[in-house]
Chains A and B, each alone.
Chain A
Amino acid sequence: MKLNSTLVLLSLLLPSISWAGSCQGEKNGLIASYELDTFSYSESTETGTDSTTPTHSAFFNFIRKNNNLVSYQYPQMGISKSWFRTKNQRVNSVHYFDKFNRAIEYDNADLPKGSNDNWDGMYPMISKTFLNTMDSKAATDDCEITFKHKKGGQSWDIVWSESLNLPIEMTHISKHKKTILKLKYFKNDMQAVVARLEALSAYQSTDYADIGDNESDPFLRKMIRLGFVKHEASGFYDAQGNAQKQDGHAAHTH
């Protein structure tokens, strides 16, 4: 928590980012702070948004210890999610809940099918494979690459840092939503990375496979009440598992 607060403070003090140096910069022991704003979107307006005020604004910290361990930290929610790649290229995860000093460990066993493939996306935040499928790619100075892509009613504009192996900025537009992701701050500091990860690992953890034998645990019950496990209401779903409203139209699933 202390480190997150520091990052938030620093992000306010640093107005801009300068991308000097080689593309071969240090990619490990990295802490990066991002801002994520979501706007309602309409093609009919000149700016594409109904308002300059985001409907939802969040920030998060991205921590990369090495090629096999990254962590996404959401201070507003008091949640962190670390992802670890094993020797046989499978991915495990631990979700940390700051308020309770508790964690839930997800073996690869506990994760959705495809999680192993997603390391390509977890490590640099946006999958290199996905970037390589984009419609246009333009390299700029200072190791930046601009990607543009449109598909299925969605569009992406991404400024990518080869030095950090991370996005600097991304604008994603889908049907009625525009999401802007901006890198606000970064630093290489392995000591700070290790300290933060060690602080998290001190939380009391429960294997997700063991939840069924520990439902009397007040923390787990609280997680359910808080919506960590949420129950759908309609009771009708299509073949893909999408919730349907009573009139048969797909309901928003979260």
Chain B
Amino acid sequence: MRTHKMNALKVSALALAVSTVLTGCGSDDDAVTGPNLAVESRSIESASSSDWYVAGEATVNNNAEAFANIVKQKGMAKNVILFVGDGMGVSTVTAARILAGQQQGLSGEEYNLSFDRFPFSGLAKTYNVDAQTPDSAGTMTAMMSGVKTDAGVIGVDEDIERGTCSTVAGNELVSALELAEIAGLSTGVISTARITHATPAATYAKSAERNWEDSSDMPQQAIDDGCEDIASQLINFESNLEARYTGLDVDGIEVVMGGGRRHFLPKDEAENSSDASSSIEGDRTDGRNLVTEWSTQYGNGVYVMDQVGFNAINTESTERVFGLFNESHMQYEMDRGNDIAGEPSLSEMTEKAIQVLDNNDDGFLLVVESGRIDHAHHAGNAYNALNDTIELSKAVQIANELTNDDDTLIIVTADHGHVFTIAGYPKRGNPILGKVVGVGETEESLADDGQPYTTLGYTNGLGFRNLGAETDADASYGTVQGDDSISLVDASQLLIANSSYNTVSVTGRVDLTTVDTQSAGFHQEALVPLSSETHSGEDVSVYAQGPAAHLVNGTNEQNLIFHVMDYALDLVSKADSELTPQ
């Protein structure tokens, strides 16, 4: 039915076009009688009964109203929430939207994720100063500090030499989170990745190397030269910031939640938590227990490491929260039930964070990262990438419900995309994770090689894997093309070792006839064989709602996002006034 109505609109548009052409011919008769005007009128009348027409017209009216009502003046926002879907390129948003709709029994294409409904959007150019296809460290630094920089570095400008500690001094940037702290706002950082991973780290740390997540990751030279690992910078955020400005007194980050406990604990089995997934959970070789240090520093703070502890947080009486829910990255949303001690979802963390942060009448700045969309894509697994994107949409929805459009700017974007494609000519409502079935067809479409193919695919990466019901995208990395004696369960380990490899890229075409491509463990085909699927270099979408959201439009450099947040909160001016002697 929808297709029919769409055709009706096309017919009317064609009639309008014909009318125009005829008029353009200069026929006197036409000019006198004006028959084409009648045709035009009928066409518009016909079109106006179309759902598409009505919806489009309503959207324009709504948008016009939204633009008229938007708070456009500088510094009028009380709160800013920045959501970053790591690796959530345009094709990921589109596919996730369709999957979300199909999960609700709809065709899917017409569905909207929560941020699809935001009134303003634009595009961001993601390249790093030194890289056409970017990484998260450089892109998030641009978004948080307003300055594009090199790939692989955190919170420092392009004059840095990656991996060289001595080049950090003098090249540090000031992040929006730091400005918010100085300005007296409450601040929070949430991620489903390790909280020391590149994207969240760019909110609070300065590092010549994104991988310097704890002391054991750093070369001795860097330690000797005085560089501080990223986890330590998080714990010492307050004192480090105060040390940079004479007389400054801030109260530190109020909410920190994510994974990465290993970087905060000493390498000592006795310090393992009940959630340990390794024999020795901590990685730190300097003997420090940063969780203990944080607890000592913030006596009024609450440290949590599992779902039970998280649920027990009283958001009205709790001033400060530090949550480390996994030794490394948190689980994919669809794999969360397999966590050892249990962990909250991204939407649960977002809700809790806002409820703690909004206790400050002066407002807050919250950064939320869905960190594992990127990991699922790297593994070539659309299932988890899309389901984590849907969970991000849920988190945005909750943020929207808990805040006021008049005083809270919400921005949703990605740091970069992935080489992830939606292809073929599947009919409307065809399962987005399924094989292509053409318009009007009931049988799967076949490629020139006589084999069916999926709508979703990757330009590069490990390629086809069929791990059945496996919900963890990373499982593909360990897949082994075993020997015929694989049934000897761990004699198989010998064969694995002796075969000299443990992962085989399966690029090229695969006969998918009997494969359930919608299962959690299916990994899409890839063209170019690589050990891991890669980021892409195209633009990413930026969605915005709230004060100053109208500034998110057109195609801009990614560092514009910082400046929109600054405009909304008037951060720099407020911070300056705090630093200027009265």
Selected from B278, B375, B512, B530, the residue in CB contact (under 8 A) with A84 is B278
Taken residue by residue from 224 to 254, chain A's Cβ proximity to chain B (1 for < 8 Å, 0 otherwise) reads as 1011111110111111111100000000011
> Interface with A: B16-24, B92-100, B226-234, B474-482, which one?
B474-482
Contact B340 A197 (CB under 8 A): no
Q: A84-B279, A213-B198, A235-B507 are in contact. Are A229 and B501 (CB under 8 A)?
A: yes
Contact check, B491 vs A181: say whether CB atoms are below 8 A apart.
yes
CA distance A234 to B509 in the complex (A): 9
> For B216, B276, B503, which residue has the most chain A Cβ atoms within 10 angstroms?
B503
Decide: B378 and A214 in contact? CB cutoff 8 A. no
Which chain B residue shows the least CB distance to A179?
B485
**Pick the contact of A72 from B217, B465, B494, B515 — CB < 8 Å?**
B494
Convert B332-348 into 0s and 1s, putting 1 for each residue whose CB lies closer than 8 angstroms to a CB of A.
10010011100000000
In the assembled complex, A23 has its CB within 8 A of some CB on chain B: no
Closest to B503 in A: A229
Q: Knowing A69-B279, A229-B531, A254-B481 touch, does A237 contact B498 (C-beta < 8 A)?
A: no
Known: A213-B135, A229-B505. A122 touches B490 (CB 8 A): yes
Smallest beta-carbon distance A252→chain B, Å: 9
Which one of A65, A127, A223 contacts B490 once the chains associate, using CB atoms below 8 Å? A127
B474 touching A172, Cβ below 8 Å: no
Known contacts A60-B497, A121-B490; is A237 also within 8 Å of B511 by CB? yes
Please measure, in the bound complex, the distance between the C-alpha atom of A197 and the C-alpha atom of B269, giving whole angstroms: 12
B217 touches A204 (CB 8 A): yes
| Total A-B contacts with CB atoms under 8 angstroms apart | 230
B-chain residues with CB within 8 Å of residue A210 when the two chains form the complex:
375
B534 at the interface (CB under 8 A from A): yes
Contacts of B217 in A (CB 8 A): 204
* Contact residues in B for A126 (Cβ distance below 8 Å): 488-491
- Check: B296 CB closer than 8 A to any chain A CB: no
- Give min CB distance, B150 to chain A, whole Å: 12
A209 x B504 contact (CB < 8 A): no
In the bound complex, how far is the Cα of B193 from the Cα of A180, in angstroms?
45
Please tell me if B329 contacts chain A, counting CB pairs below 8 Å.
Answer: yes
B280 touches A201 (CB 8 A): yes
Q: Identify which of A95, A121, A241, A242 gathers the most chain B CB atoms within 10 Å of its CB.
A: A241
Any B CB within 8 A of the CB of A110 = yes
The CA of A207 and the CA of B102, in the complex, are separated in Å by: 33
Task: Give Cα distance in the complex from A216 to B535, angstroms.
Answer: 13
Asked if residues A110 and B501 are in contact (CB atoms below 8 Å), the reply is no
- Does B513 interact with chain A (Cβ within 8 Å)? yes
Size class of A's contact patch? 35 or more
Residues of B within 8 A of A208 (CB): 474, 477-478
List A contacts of B40 (CB < 8 A).
Answer: none
> How far, in whole Å, are A240 and B283 apart by their CA atoms in the complex?
39
Cross-chain contact B274 with A87 (CB below 8 angstroms) = yes
In the assembled complex, B487 has its CB within 8 A of some CB on chain A: yes
The yes or no answer to A187 lying at the interface (CB within 8 A) is: no
8 nearest A-B pairs in the assembled complex, by CB-CB distance: A121-B489, A235-B508, A212-B378, A212-B532, A253-B481, A113-B470, A121-B490, A109-B472
B: which residues have CB within 8 A of A?
A: 135-136, 152, 198, 210-211, 216-217, 267, 274, 276-280, 283, 328-329, 331-332, 335, 338-340, 374-375, 377-379, 464-470, 472-475, 477-481, 483-485, 487-494, 496-515, 521, 529-534
A82-B279, A86-B277 given; 9 more Cβ-contact pairs under 8 Å: A58-B494, A68-B279, A84-B279, A172-B485, A208-B477, A211-B532, A212-B534, A228-B500, A237-B510
